[in-house]
Amino acid sequence: MSDVLSQLAAVLEARKSADADSSYVASLYEAGTDKILKKLGEEATETVIAGKGGDRDEIIYETADLWFHSMVLLAHNNIDHQLILDELDRRFGLSGLEEKANRSKP
């Protein structure tokens, strides 16, 4: 499996100290959570539209944008992407219905 998520996480972390005028990610960090969430929402919508359209290449492209911006949100909140992978691993082999029923209630 590719280690691209770890490599991306390292770049996103480094961008926290970059100049917002020279880094797209740094500009998102500087703009704050609302801007990051807005961009994530846009990418989610574009992914849905691509899925509806059924164009394989467009689905891949938009999903990559969605994952990228999800990683930006994680980095902005100092959440290691490995925690997401661990959670997916924990869920592997469970029925979705079983997993949902076993979630702790807030």
Predicted local confidence at residue 12, as pLDDT: 98
Task: Confirm if 76 and 36 have CB atoms less than 8 A apart.
Answer: yes
The answer to whether 9 touches 71, Cβ cutoff 8 Å, is: yes
Query: What pLDDT, on a 0 to 100 scale, did the predictor assign at position 98?
Result: 76
**Residue 63: other Cβ atoms inside 10 A:** 15
What pLDDT shows up at residue 41? 98
Per-residue pLDDT of the chain (106 residues; tens, 9 = 90+): 469 999 999 999 999 999 999 999 999 999 999 999 999 999 999 999 999 999 999 999 999 999 999 999 999 999 999 999 999 998 888 887 877 787 775 5
pLDDT of residue 105: 57
Structure tokens given for 65: 């944008």
